Structure formats: structure tokens, C-alpha cells
Structure 1
Amino acid sequence: MVTVVGFILLLAVVMVLIKGRVALPIVFVLFPVIAAVILGFPMSEITGFVGKGLSSVLNVAALFTFSVTYFSMMNDVGMFDVIVKKVMRYMGNKVALALLLAAFVATISHLDGSGATTMLVTIPTMLPIFRKMKIRPEALLLFASAASGIMNLLPWCSSVMRLSSSTALDPQLLWRTVFPLQVVGLILVYAMTIPIAKMERKNGAGMSDEEFEMLKTDIVGDGGAASLAGVQVNQKLIAFNMLLTLGLIVVLLTGLINANLGFMMAFAIGLFVNYRDVKVQNGKIKEFGGNAMNMVMVIFAIGVFLGIMQNTGMIEGMANTILAFIPESLGGSLIFIIAIFSVPLSVIIGSDAVYLVLAPILISIAAQFGGTAMSVGTSLLIGGSISANITLIGPTPYLALGLANVSMGDHLRYSFKWIWGIGVILAIIGGFIGIIPF
């Protein structure tokens, strides 16, 4: 009975996520509570299950809160805009360089962990250049999606947050595990500019040097204090903010201090230095904190879902049932197979369903064949992250499509094979360096 209800709950959650007609907290709070009641558990016991689930996601919620507020602050003071303008000054009249710049802008703007922010910065900034150079907007979407997808592997981004909340994997340790693949992934994205540029030139892309210089002058301007977003930037503090951010990333990567404490300290220091008036500081806390609230609510709702699924025995029952149908010969390669097909799986059912619903079950199954939670999490994270902006499920891809005036069909036809190719290469490299078992 527990197993049957578990599968029904799983199917119901996936279907609702695919249709996208209700908010995530509704799904992850009401559905599992109803399932537990159907199984005959009293509310007092269900409350205990929920308490255990909430305890398991507290660290993740804290990390997300302070990481989002920190990078929202850095965006507010113009750090990202200054970096982009500096790079654009040295951009040459080549299609490959335009593609490379698009990837770079997406990489930098995604440091705040927000896919929507990345698209709102990258596409309006780069689309005029692409139009003037006659580069198809699908190419812009490809590089914005691929670069931000690789950056999704950062420990404060939603992909890692959601996977960590459903599997109890430490976000910082997860990032340190996949960091070599993140570096390789960025190299692959930037290297991809060469074949795509060749393809676009065959399609008629390019412009005269005179036209290009006029375009660059319009975008970069006179190099004054104004940022790309029209925000006045305090040039004296830009160097400080860059050093603070670089130091924070180094500390997180080396594991010198806990990620939660690192972001808390960096946010406190940055808030004090950039905004000296206490009223302004309090106003900025409210402003930046609002950006994190939606995801924090989702994380706590996931805690409810997991607490009930795990403590009622549903996950164990479903894992044992699925395990009975997996041949012994396939078990050893299960995690690698998951990694290879995680991109199309995430595109079809959405990364939320993969991270929040399938991940705990796949971890239980893989454990029977000697697989670890970290290896399963890594295999899912690679494909789920880089496919975040080509998935059929989720708002950010459609925001990007609207900004670029491209249909989902055209986006998938242009981008899917390249992004899946990156996913497959990363899975193979992960196998050779021991992150993902073959």
C-alpha cells in the first residue's frame, strides 16, 4: 500500500510540475500530507515527519538566502556592468568574438544565481550587436543558455540548492566535486564559438569595420560612470567589490570556512561598505531579501515533501520495486547511463521533477549496486544544470524566448544537440576522472 501510494504521489507531482498550473509550495506541501493521511498516519506523526524534513533543509535555505542577497547587492552597485563594459572595449569585428562576448556576459551575470537576471542582462545587451552583425538570435540563446547552465553548478544556484534539499548533499561539497567539470564545461562553451561562428558566417553573418565601430561606440559610450543598466557606479568601490567577491569564491572553493558563514560575512561587509546610511542598509536588505524569498519557500516546502516521503517508507518501497526490474548486468553502469540521458530527461519533464522527485529514488536504487549519493547527484546535476534554459518546463526559458523573439521549436532545433553534446562529453570526462562511475 505504501509503495502504491508513493508511485501515485510521484506521478501526480510530476504531472502537476509539467503542466505548471500551481505554485511549487502547494504541490510539495499539500500532496504529501494528503498521501500520508490516506496511508493512515495521524497528524501528530505527520508533524514529526515534517519536522525532520525541515531540519534537513535549513542549511540549504540559509545558504540560498545570503548568496542571492549578496549577488543582488553586487548587481545593484554595478560590478557586473563594469566588467562587461571593460571587455566590450576590446571586442573586435568578428562573429566568433560576438559569440564569445555573449557567453562571457551570461557567465558573469549568472554569478547571482538567477536565470531570469542572466537573460534580462545578456539578451538585451547582446541582441543589438547580433542583429547588426546578422547573427541569428538562436545563437545568442544557445550561448546564454549554455554558459548560464554551466554556471548553474555554483553552490548558491537553484540547481544545486534543489538537489541538495532533496538529497541532503552538502552544496559546497557538491560544487567542489563537480568543479573540474564546471571548468571543462566553460572551456567547451567558449570553444563552441568556433564552429558556431563558421556556421553563422555561412548563413550571412558579418558587418563592415565602420559599422562595427559605430555600434561599439553606441554601446560602450564614453567610459564614464554610467553602467549598462543606467546605474551610477562608484568607481572607487568597484575594485573592493571585485576583490571581496574573488576572495569569497576562493574561500568557498578551498573549503576554508562554511559556505553559509562565508556569504553571511561577505554580505555584511559589502552592505556596510557600499551603503553607509542605516536606513538605506535596511531598505536594501528588504529589497535583496525579496529576491530570495520565493526559492526559500520552495526549499522549505521540499523539506515537507521529503520528510513525509522518507519517513513513511514511500521512497524505500518505490526503490525496491524499481530495483526488481533492473538487470544485474546493467546495475554497475546505471549512474553513467543517468548522466548520459540527464539532459533529454530534464528537457522533457523539467529539472524540478528530476532533482526533487527522481533524485531520492535513484539514489536508493544506485546504492544497491554500490553507487553513492554524491555520484548520482553529480550525474543528475550535470544534465539538469546545462539544460535549464532549453527545458519545456519552467518560466526562464520562455522569458529568454520572448526577449529574443524566438520560438521554443527553433531554440531546441538550434541548441539541443550542442547542449546535449556538452552533457555527454562532461559525463565521459567525469567517468575518466572518477566523479561518475562507468
Structure 2
Amino acid sequence: MLSWLGFLMVIVFMYLIMSKRLSALVALIVVPVIFALIGGFGMEIGDMMLAGIKQIAPTGIMLLFAILYFGIMMDAGLFDPLIAKILKIVKGDPLKIIVGTAILSSLVALDGDGTTTYMITVTAMLPLYQKLGIKPMILAVVPMLALGVMNMAPWGGPTARAMSVLNLDASQLFTPVVPAMIAGIAWVIIVAYILGKRERKRLGIIELGEDHGESMAGGEIAAAGAEVSLKRPRLIWFNLLLTIALMLGLITSFLPLPILFMLAFAIGLLINYPKMEDQKERISAHAGNALATVSMVFAAGIFTGILTETKMIDAMSNTVVSWIPDSLGTHMPVLVALTSMPFTYFMSNDAYYFGVVPILANAAAAYGVDPAEIGRASILGQPLHVLSPLFAAQYLLIGMVGVDYAETQRFILKWAFGTSIVMIVVAILTGVISL
């Protein structure tokens, strides 16, 4: 009963946001509350919601100050010289810009962190998209596709969890999957090429003068719509060093991520805009974007809290495992690869890898299937996980780019599904998982 309640809750939630009956923010709050009441959890519902919010709170704080920090840096013109150089190289060609976005986001995503990937990619590329009139939806989709593949690196969350729960090392689980990942990145670049061709056909190639880059760096074109009066060209080296220090802090975890962004924001705001009135204006300018993003994160915390604390998620995983007939036992690796897509979409990585994967591995062992194959198969659905309403970093991306959550889901699902299918096919052909 509990598992069916969970499945119905997820179905209703997806229907309401995809059909635009409710906004994602409202649906994330209202839908789980209604189903928790139906399930008879009325007395505990407050504690469940609070537990989910507490779990997501550090992420929400980090995203709030990350948006404010990078907003300040864009206002001050930190990224203008880089954008000018890129614009000179691509020579106003939307196709080159979109393919470049795929390559840049893939390289940045090597650290396995979605927040860092999205912030660096969007802050570097958004002004180019705005200048040439490229659809902002593409800037949301391409980095998500790239992260879905690169998130499988052993220092990323899913692979590390799979290795720990199955007692495997990287050479057993990750190394054999590298060819499939390469194929996944190739697919992402192909998608970027397809989208780029469409935009080139729609917009054409914009001819830019030879001195365009210099004039842009000088402030003729304001990054992300910032006014020329907000530029701080004399502080560009300070801002660059501050941002590099912030990135190093993120990589080394010198301090908790929320604290790093709070400190960086306070320093950046104080140095670039020392007047109190200017500080208030800059915060107000980015407050709407920050509020939209952070409110979604905390709403997702309520959804996660109820799904987890009611044990719906545990019941759902056990039900799915019980559906696998004995006749398909020897095909478990392929089944795990295919089911990892919906599993990782609707579940957190912790719930899936610590709760479901051990059950699947034990079931497969009864048919003589190596647990390493199950581990490899379980990470091939990650391109769908980064689209999950439970994946907080996507709210940052959507907020920075300024696109609608439901429209993004509709636009990207087929491409993300294609990424996983490509990797699964290559994994089968290379013998990484058995058919």
C-alpha cells in the first residue's frame, strides 16, 4: 500500500508540473503533504517536513549566496574580457558557441560538482547567448547533459556510493565504464551540434568587427545586462583572485561550502560597492533570482523529507525489485541499467545506492552475476538523475539562465534519455555489462 501511495504521489507530481496545472514550487509542497495525510501520517507530518528542510538547508544557503556572489561579479565586469575573447574566436556563430558550451561544461564538470559546473559555465556563456539572441533554454540543457555523464567520475557522488556499498575499487567499477562515458560525452557534443545548427539557421552568423572584443571589454556591451556604471575594471584582478580562491576552497573543502560563499559575497560586495546604497541596490537586483532558486530548494526538501520519513521510498524500491521475474535473473545488469534511469530520477543517490543497489546486487548474485556489473549498470542512469526534482543544483542553473522548470524538463528529457541509452549500448558492446 505504501509503495503504491509513493508511486501515485510521484505520478501526480509529474503530471501537475508537466501539464502546468501547478508551478513546481507549489507542487513540491502541496502534493507530498496531501499524500502524507492520505497515508495517515498527519500527526508526524510537521516533523517529516522539518527533517527534509534541515537536510537541504546548507545547500539552500550555499545557492543563495552563490547567486548573489556571481551576480556581483558579473555586475563588476569580471567575465567581460573572457567573453570578449570567446566572442572573437567564435565570430558570432551560434553553432560554435553551443558546441563550446558542451566542451566547457564537460571540462568544468570533471570535479563532479553540479553547482560549480553550472555557475562557471553560465557566468561565462550567458552574456554571449544574450548578445547573439540564442535561446537560453539551450544554456540550461547542454550543461545538464554534460554533468549527467561527468558526474559518474569516481570522486563524484554516485560512483563513490556504489563502490562503498558493494566493496569495490575504482579499477573494478569505474575504469571499465570509461569508454561508455566517452560515448556519452560524444553524444552530448552531437546534441549541442544539432541544437547549434538549428540556432544558426534561425539567427544566422552575426558578423562582428575586429575591434568588437576590445570594445566589449571596455564596457560597450554590459555582461548579463549590467550597466556600464557598475563596472569595476580596476578591480578585475582582485575579483579574479577572489574567485580563484573561492574555487580552490570549494575543491579542497577548506571551509563548509555555505560559509565560503557567504564570506566571498561579503568581501566582493564590500570591495566593489563600498557605499551602502550601492550594496542595497545590488542585493535587490539579484534578490528575485535568488528567491526563486532557494524557495525551490527548500520546497524540494519538504518533498524529500516526506518521501523518506514515511518510508515510501523504501517500499517503492522493494516493490520494483519484486517485479523482476526469475526468468530475467541472468539479464539483471541490463535491467539494472535501464531501471537506474527512473530510480535515480525519483530518488536521492543515498536512497538508491545505499537502499536499492545492495538488494539488486544480492538478487543478481543468486543468478551468478558479478556485483561489479550491477555497480557499473547502476551509474549509467545518472543523466536522468541531474534532472530530478531532488537534485538541488539544477534550481541554481534554471534560476541563473531564467527558464521555466517544467519547460526545461520537457525539452531535455529525450536528450538525457538518449545519453543513458548510448552509454548502455556501448557498455554492452564493450562487455562492461552482460546482456
Q: Distance in 2 between matches of 1:85 and 1:300?
A: 37
Per-residue deviation, 1:19: 1.0
Question: CA 1:267 to 1:151, structure 2 compared with 1: closer, same or farther past 3 Å?
Answer: farther
Q: Cα gap change, 1:5/1:425 in structure 2, threshold over 3 Å: closer, same or farther?
A: closer
Question: Identical aligned pairs, as a percentage?
Answer: 21
Partner of residue 336, structure 1 = 337
Give 1:72 shift: 1.7
CA distance in 2, matches of 1:297, 1:94: 36
1:59-208 → structure 2 map (5 Å cutoff) = 59-91=58-90, 113=119, 121-127=127-133, 145-147=141-143, 149-150=145-146, 188=186
Worse-matched range after superposition: 242-251 or 224-233 = 224-233
Compute the displacement of 1:64 (Å).
Answer: 1.5
Asked if residue 395 in structure 1 is aligned to residue 404 in structure 2, the reply is yes
- Equivalent in the alignment of 1:236: 234
Relative to structure 1, the CA distance from residue 85 to residue 15 in structure 2 (aligned partners, 3 Å threshold; closer, same or farther) is same
Unaligned stretches of 5+ residues in structure 1: 129-136, 164-177, 346-352, 400-407
Query: Where does residue 13 of structure 1 map in the other structure?
Result: 13
Structure 2 CA distance for aligned equivalents of residues 101 and 396 of structure 1? 24
CA drift at 1:65: 1.2
User: Judging changes above 3 Å, is the alpha-carbon distance between structure 1 residues 111 and 241 closer, same or farther for their aligned structure 2 residues?
Assistant: farther
CA 1:223 to 1:17, structure 2 compared with 1: closer, same or farther past 3 Å?
closer
Q: Are the equivalent residues in 2 in contact too, given 1:71–1:111 (CA < 8 A)?
A: no
Name the residue aligned to 2:219. Answer: 225
In the TM superposition, residue 310 of structure 1 has moved relative to its aligned partner by 2.2
Q: Matches of 1:397 and 1:30 in 2, distance apart?
A: 17
* Distance in 1 between residues matched to 2:124 and 2:9, nearest whole Å: 34
Q: Secondary structure at the match of 1:337?
A: helix
Aligned-residue offset at 1:125: 2.3
CA distance in 2, matches of 1:144, 1:33: 30
2:261 to 263, 267, 284: 263
AA aligned opposite 1:278? M
Q: Does 1:3 align with 2:11?
A: no
Instruction: Work out whether residues 51 and 305 of structure 2, in 8 Å CA contact, stay in contact via their aligned partners in 1.
Output: yes
Confirm or deny: 8 A CA contact 1:65 1:296 kept in the other structure: yes
Letter in 2 for 1:237: L
CA RMSD of aligned residues (A): 5.4
Please say which of residues 77-86 and 325-334 is displaced more in the overlay: 325-334
The whole-number CA distance in structure 2 between the counterparts of 1:386 and 1:33 is 22
Aligned counterpart in structure 2 of residue 367 of structure 1, from 355, 358, 372: 358
State the match for 1:38 in structure 2.
38
**Partner residue in 1 for 2:171:** none
Which residue does the alignment assign to 1:57?
56
Cα distance change on mapping 1:329 and 1:59 into 2, 3 Å: farther
* Structure 1 residue 298 displacement after superposition: 2.0
Q: CA deviation at 1:58?
A: 1.3
Separation in 2, partners of 1:184, 1:253: 24
| Residue-pair matches, total | 373
After TM superposition, the structure 1 stretch with the greater mean CA deviation from structure 2, 220-229 or 58-67, is 220-229
Secondary structure of residue in 1 paired with 2:323: coil
Alignment of 1:271-286 (within 5 A): 271-286=269-284
Q: Deviations over 1:139-183 (max 9, x none)?
A: x9868742464368999xxxx99x9xxxxxxxxxxxxxx9x99x9
Q: Secondary structure at the match of 1:256?
A: coil
Amino acid at match of 2:19: K
- Post-superposition Cα deviations, 1:305-362, rounded to whole Å, max 9, x if no partner, equal 22222222322222211110124434445553356xx4xx7xxxxxxx9645687875
1:249 CA displacement: 1.7
Q: Distance in 1 between matches of 2:204 and 2:59?
A: 46
The verdict on how the C-alpha distance between 1:282 and 1:213 changes in structure 2, with shifts beyond 3 A counting, is closer
Contact in 1 for aligned 2:3/2:316 (Cα 8 Å): yes
TM-score (norm 1): 0.63
Summarize deviations over 1:101-160 as a string: whole Å, max 9, x none.
56679899x9664999888634342359xxxxxxxx9xx9868742464368999xxxx9
The 1-side partners of 2:195 and 2:41 are apart by 60
Provide, for residues 209-246 of structure 1, a one-character-per-residue CA deviation record: whole Å limited to 9, x for no partner: xx9564x5567647523335463232111222222222
CA contact (8 A) 1:63 1:260 kept: yes
The alpha carbon displacement at 1:300 in A equals 1.9
Taking the aligned partners of 1:80 and 1:99, their CA distance within structure 2 comes to 18
SS at match of 2:79: helix
Shift, 1:3, TM fit: 2.9
Partner of 1:28: 28
Give the Cα–Cα distance (whole angstroms) in 2 for the partners of residues 367 and 243 of structure 1: 45
Q: Is the 8 A contact 1:150 1:386 kept in 2?
A: no
Offset of residue 270 of structure 1:
1.0
Q: Give the partner amino acid of 1:366.
A: V
Shift of 1:275: 1.0
Structure 2: state its 5+ residue gaps: 109-115, 159-173, 362-370, 389-393, 398-402
C-alpha change, 1:240 and 1:338, in structure 2 (3 Å) is farther
Paired amino acid for 2:142: A
Distance 1:235 1:100, change over 3 A: farther
2:218 aligned counterpart, secondary structure:
coil
Structure 1 SS opposite 2:40:
coil
Alpha-carbon distance in 2 for matches of 1:198, 1:254: 36
Q: Structure 1 residues 268, 54: closer, same or farther in 2, change over 3 A?
A: same
**Partners of 1:316 and 1:284 in 2: CA distance:** 45
Q: Counterparts of 1:57 and 1:95 in 2: how far apart (Å)?
A: 37
